[in-house]
Amino acid sequence: MIRPPSSRGPGAFSMVEVALSLAILAVGMVGVLALLPVGLEGARQVHAETVASQVVRGAIADFSTNAYAAIAGIPSGGTYSVQYYTAEGQAATAADGYFRLAYVKGSGDPSTPSCRYFLNLVWPNAAWQANSNSRLIQSRTFVTEVMRN
């Protein structure tokens, strides 16, 4: 026996097919949204690294203009200066600073024509960290030499 042609219109998706495709779409969207915080944290870290390098470049430029005599009398291992900067790299107080930059004198004979200094950059600063969510503390140490005039 031959079946008569269906009286239904053109083919359409059944309710089960629509529900299944929506479930697959929802699983994919949840996966993408789960990666969003990871990407944002990565962007935040890259921004902090960029600002940190700018802070250090500025500090080395400022430090190299200081007179040798003003810093030569500091004992080895002594801290010459501690400065604080905001997350955008602007000068700040200890309470508001995101970055903490310390100039520490390295070992060396004061009679030599240069002194080696270590610039220790730490972020986030302890005071900033106490007022926000605790994050991993980053630290970088840079070495520069100051020549005698």
Classify residue 74: in a domain, yes or no: yes
Whole-prediction pTM value? 0.66
Classify residue 9: in a domain, yes or no: no
Classify residue 142: in a domain, yes or no: yes
Query: For residue 28, what are the domain limits?
Result: 15-147
3-state secondary structure of 92: strand
What pLDDT, on the 0 to 100 scale, is given for residue 105? 74
- 10: which 2 tokens? 């053109």
Structural domain total, the chain: 1
What pLDDT, on the 0 to 100 scale, is given for residue 6? 59
Give the tens place of pLDDT for each residue, 2-57.
766 655 556 788 999 999 999 999 999 999 999 999 999 889 888 888 998 898 88
Classify residue 52: in a domain, yes or no: yes
Tell which residue, 68, 66, 140, 74, has the closest CA to residue 106.
Answer: 74
Classify residue 8: in a domain, yes or no: no
Q: How far apart are CA 35 and CA 44, in angstroms?
A: 14
What pLDDT, on the 0 to 100 scale, is given for residue 113? 62
What pLDDT, on the 0 to 100 scale, is given for residue 108? 60
DSSP code per residue over 47-75: HHHHHHHHHHHHHHHHHHHS-HHHHHTSP
Give the tens place of pLDDT for each residue, 69-98.
556 666 666 777 788 888 888 988 888 888
Classify residue 20: in a domain, yes or no: yes
